Structure 1
Amino acid sequence: MTPAVAGLVCLTMAQGAAAETTRLGGVYDVSVSGFKIARGSLSLVLQKNAYSAKIGMQPAGIGTLFSTGKGGAEASGWLNGRSVVPSRYKMASRAADRDFFVDLAQGSGHVRKMRVTPQFKPNPERIEVSSKHKRNVVDPLSAILMPVKGHSGKPDASVCKRRIPVFDGWTRFDIQLSYKETRSVSGRGYDGDVVVCSARWIPVAGHRPSKESVKYMAENRKMEAWLAPLGSGGVFVPYRIAMGTKSGTLVVEPRKLEISQGRDQAAR
């Protein structure tokens, strides 16, 4: 599932220098077939080309009747043109009385060190995650940042033109986006256009091809992401995510967003 989150980044600047800083804070509702099941928070800070993000999620609405699970994640790194270059990712959650934990140390787009709990049980059918599957990848939280080099910051079809390579600590998969349409939204902290991208989940490694859940996701054509500009810097982030499931359409959308942009003065 997806996000709720808060985070802050601080860069050491030259004495007296100022840096352009964009902040996004949001509260998100997660629903299935119109019934709220969870609430999330998202906090993102982008200062020059450095970013830091945090998310958190817990059951809400009818979700409190079925789950006591909750969790969160944090990530940091840099933007380089159209590329996202993560440096650190941590995730911890608890669901169905099990603890899940991931700690990835990354450099130049490669996973250098990792700790993951639990480990997959040995299975000859599982496609092995090799070292090549951990190169030029982003973590699931850093994947929400979509820079467009030399872009005006206005939503258009080019924003969707990307394939995002993701490694979550267990599996390696791609998210393929393609342009669907442009819409206008208002009333939740962002008023303006969003570009709607169709999305596909493409398994690469770490999965078992015969599993029904893997087959369902790989064949799922009911996925889309609405992307909104983050300030005027040519970086886009998801405003709304919708995905078909066997229980109905899962939707993650904001209840309230706060976006600010300005120049921060470094401490002398």
Structure 2
Amino acid sequence: MLLLSVTPGPSAGETAQPKPGRVVATYDAALAGISLGDFKVTTTIEGSAYKLVAKGRFSMLAGLVYSATGKTTSSGTLTPAAPQPTTFTLDYDGGKKREQRYIRFNNGTVSEVSIVPRKKKKNSTRIPVGAEQLEDVLDPLTAAFLAVRPNTPAGDLEICRQTIPVFDGKQRFDVVLTPKRSESLGSGAPKSLSG
């Protein structure tokens, strides 16, 4: 199951720095109408600084089959080009499986990674992550909620034509976005929307 959220960014005519504030959003995760859990994301912006906090609780059959809780945080700076994370944390408790991750960034480059417990390396076909792949990357939370192009005009599909480089502490991957379609809203649409 893949959950993806994209928040709108300012248009080309707007300032690159959003107004200070706090947004709290709660999401329900369900499959075939059966609730699997929920998570809450709190976004706080003060000047160019941002902080994201996400907390989740998931279970199957009231915890008889599976139960997990987690918390992840990210903080950093919003720049005209892209967000620049400074720290990312993840605390996960899935009963028998627990993990804590910490990533520190310096100017968009991963400078420190800590994972507890550290698992023994298995024989794997995975390609090791090199130093050059840890440059100009985002953490998963920033990538999911703040990765937008602030210089794209409102309604421009180019906002969905981008590749977002992500490092989660173990893997480096790209999230490739492509626009699906464009639709014009009729005269009955709310005045705050246009297009």
How far does the alpha carbon of each residue in 1:120-142 deviate from its partner, in whole angstroms, 9 at most, with x for none?
Answer: 52325221112112111111011
In structure 1, what is the Cα distance between the partners aligned to 2:194 and 2:99? 34
Aligned 8 A contact 2:20 2:46 in 1: yes
Q: 1:57 to 1:158 in 2, by over 3 A?
A: same
Alignment of 1:44-193 (within 5 A): 44-59=43-58, 62=61, 64-117=63-116, 118-119=118-119, 121-143=121-143, 144-151=145-152, 154-182=154-182
Matched position secondary structure for 1:64? coil
Q: Structure 1 residues 192, 135: CA separation in 2 closer, same or farther (over 3 Å shift)?
A: same
Structure-1 separation of matches of 2:194 and 2:119: 39
Unaligned runs of 5+ in 2: 5-17, 185-190
Distance apart, 1:63 and its partner CA = 5.8
Distance across 2 between alignment mates of 1:128 and 1:138: 18
Q: Hey, what does 2:37 align to over in structure 1?
A: 38
SS in structure 1 of the partner of residue 170 of structure 2: coil
CA deviation after TM superposition for structure 1 residue 24, in Å: 1.3
Q: Structure 1: which 4+ aligned runs deviate by more than 3 Å?
A: 60-65, 191-195
Indicate the structure with greater strand content: 1
How far is the alpha carbon of 1:119 from its aligned partner?
A: 2.9
Question: Secondary structure, in 3 states, of the residue corresponding to 1:158?
Answer: helix
What's the RMSD between the two structures over aligned residues?
3.1
Gaps of 5+ in 1: 4-18, 185-190, 196-268
Contact 2:147/2:164 (8 A) holds in 1: no
Q: Report the number of matched residues.
A: 176
Per the normalisation by structure 1, the TM-score is 0.58
Change (3 A) 1:194 1:170: farther
Task: Tell me the distance in 2 between the aligned counterparts of 1:149 and 1:173.
Answer: 22
Decide whether the 8 Å contact of 1:36 with 1:63 is kept in 2. no
CA distance in 2, matches of 1:110, 1:88: 11
Report SS of the residue matched to 1:179. Answer: coil
RCO higher in structure (CA 8 A, sep ≥6): 1
How far apart are 1:2 and its partner, in Å?
5.2
Task: Assess if the C-alpha contact under 8 Å between 1:39 and 1:60 holds in 2.
Answer: no
What is the percentage of aligned positions where both structures have the same residue?
Answer: 23
Aligned partners of 1:41 and 1:20: how far apart in 2?
Answer: 21
Pairwise CA distance, 1:146:
2.4
The residue identity in structure 1 corresponding to 2:105 is: Q
Q: 1:56, 1:2 → 2: CA distance?
A: 14
d(CA) in 2 for partners of 1:192 and 1:183?
Answer: 16
Q: Residue in 2 aligned with 1:242? A: none
CA 1:120–1:169 in structure 2 vs 1: closer, same or farther (change >3 Å)? farther
Aligned-pair CA distance for 1:150: 3.2
- Structure 1 residue 20: Cα displacement: 2.9
